Amino acid sequence: MKIGIIGTGYVGLVSTVCFASVGHTLVSIDRRDIIVDSLTRGIPTIYEENMESMLQNTIASKSITFSSDFNALKDCEVVFLAVGTPSLPNGHADLSQVFSAIDSLLPIVSLQTMIAVRSTVPVGTISRIRNYLASQGKQAQMLGFCPEFLREGVAISDFLNPSYLVFASEQKEGCLLLQKVYQPIIDKNPEVKIVCCTTYETAELTKYTINSFLATKITFMNQIAQLAQSSGADMSQLISAIGADRRIGDMFLTPGPGFGGSCFPKDTLSLVKCGISYGVDMSVVEAVNHANERHKEYVASWILEELEKHVYVEGKTIAVWGLTFKAGTDDVRDSAAIKIIRSLLIRNIKVRAYDPKGNQNFQQQVGTPNLVLCSTPIEAIINADALVVLTEWPEFSKVDVSLVKSSMNGTQPFVFDTRGILPLQDFKQQGFITYKFGI
């Protein structure tokens, strides 16, 4: 099938290379020529595991055309909208890119071409689009909603190995058309659960429900971890126990410095706004967002308070390993590292930071003289008084601990592991005072 995708971000580009890899012919649109040029040359504009090889293979097989010209979408059977829907200052989702893409599409595609929204949108948006199309005399335009459930860092794997797919279309053949696009993936994943929603609102609310439920689960576990830390309970044993309860499940139970990314913060906020617009109490989800922000502050205070039991923190140097909101991505949006590092800098602490993929993006978020971004973990640790790990990059758990110790300031070294990935026994043997949050 000839498929169009508007948007080359974390969702659009992953969808493009994955659909192309299962045999479709893709037209990928981005208005920015610099992006189109880079992708055409096989140079990814985002970091995702296996993205570069997938992109180059699908370009080599001539399965993808990148363009900034919407006319290239002519004759597509389905055009997916994978454009950004960032939060506005008032917390509502900004839909301007969605409607702009639709306006650009309408003069080009036939009524039989399905416009399939893939971006996460507030409940009621697709119905709004349906009414807008009708106002333009396009009530017969094929329209659908096809939310994605991809985790950054493992998005390609998630795309090609889904456990469920959610489609919505009010036109009879709409869901069948979306299923036809996914058929090569369904054939490879016969267990996949396919839910064809009869209303757009069902699929829109499904997307928000899943993300908000997962954000709630993580935030709840972070608060339990705070209580475990204060009461002497062992989080690893607690997690293995509750994870054995099939009603809870054993995933998304790992405590950390607080959730981040482009989805959980935005989607929980948008769900709260959605509740307000329908006059429904969404105080649980509202509490999750506030609790998550307080949790990041808790982690920063925990680090500072523990250090202050031993040294004056002003003027000290702290090495931070991990800036991205999770491992496997270059994305620092709403990363816990932003708030935590700012809390250190404000206490006149010098911060030397390293992230395998996030340095450049982080510099744009928190560029200050007292923050030095380093190109290796050991460079970051030079003359540092303490080490803090904020992201679970595997390389951090394989570090040469004696080299870390010898590279630090010669006084008493400290290490804080907020992800439960460091060999803290080895650090203890090297004379570190060790702290772990969670497991």
Catalytic residues: 263
Please give the size of the binding site for ligand UDX, defined by CB under 6 A. 19
Binding status of residue 149 toward ligand UDX by CB under 6 A: yes
Binding status of residue 148 toward ligand UDX by CB under 6 A: yes
- The half-sphere exposure of 46 on its side-chain side, counting CA atoms within 13 A, is 23
- Among 66, 325, 354, 362, which residue sits at the site for ligand UDX (rule: CB under 6 A)? 325
| Residue indicated by tokens 């909603």 | 145
Binding status of residue 417 toward ligand UDX by CB under 6 A: no
- Among 151, 180, 294, 347, which residue sits at the site for ligand UDX (rule: CB under 6 A)? 151
- Among 144, 256, 356, 377, which residue sits at the site for ligand UDX (rule: CB under 6 A)? 256
Tokens of 103: 């306006």
- 25-29: strand order across its sheet: 64-67, 25-29, 2-6, 78-81, 114-117, 143-145, 164-168, 193-197
- Among 174, 261, 358, 420, which residue sits at the site for ligand UDX (rule: CB under 6 A)? 261
Binding status of residue 214 toward ligand UDX by CB under 6 A: yes
Q: What torsion do the CA atoms of 153, 158, 161, 164 make, to the nearest 10 degrees?
A: 160
Binding status of residue 130 toward ligand UDX by CB under 6 A: no
Considering the complex, state which of residue 266 and residue 316 has its C-beta at the smaller distance from ligand UDX. Answer: 266
Q: What span, in angstroms and rounded, lies between the C-alpha atoms of 394 and 120?
A: 30
Q: What φ, ψ does residue 87 adopt, rounded to 5°?
A: -75, 135
Binding status of residue 211 toward ligand UDX by CB under 6 A: yes
Considering the complex, state which of residue 2 and residue 217 has its C-beta at the smaller distance from ligand UDX. Answer: 217
Binding status of residue 218 toward ligand UDX by CB under 6 A: yes
Considering the complex, state which of residue 67 and residue 365 has its C-beta at the smaller distance from ligand UDX. Answer: 365
Decide: 319 and 380 in contact? Cβ < 8 Å: yes
- Least distance from C-beta 145 to ligand UDX, angstroms? 14
- Among 145, 182, 200, 259, which residue sits at the site for ligand UDX (rule: CB under 6 A)? 259
* Burial per residue of 164-196, b for 16 or more beta-carbon CB atoms within 10 angstroms, e otherwise: ebbbbbbeeebbebbeebbebbbeeeeeeeeeb
The vertex-395 CA angle with 393 and 397, nearest 5°, equals: 90
Tokens of 312: 């004056």
Beta strand pairing status for 64-67 and 25-29? parallel
- Among 6, 181, 263, 390, which residue sits at the site for ligand UDX (rule: CB under 6 A)? 263
Considering the complex, state which of residue 285 and residue 349 has its C-beta at the smaller distance from ligand UDX. Answer: 285
Sign, CA dihedral 242-244-249-254, equals positive
Considering the complex, state which of residue 149 and residue 393 has its C-beta at the smaller distance from ligand UDX. Answer: 149
- Among 59, 73, 142, 150, which residue sits at the site for ligand UDX (rule: CB under 6 A)? 150
Decide: 413 and 294 in contact? Cβ < 8 Å: no
- Least distance from C-beta 150 to ligand UDX, angstroms? 5
Considering the complex, state which of residue 130 and residue 151 has its C-beta at the smaller distance from ligand UDX. Answer: 151
- Among 4, 122, 162, 260, which residue sits at the site for ligand UDX (rule: CB under 6 A)? 260
Q: DSSP 3-state helix, strand, coil percentages of the chain (rounded to 5)?
A: 45, 15, 40
Considering the complex, state which of residue 78 and residue 225 has its C-beta at the smaller distance from ligand UDX. Answer: 225
Residues that bind ligand UDX (CB under 6 A): 148-152, 211, 214, 218, 252-254, 256, 259-261, 263-264, 325-326
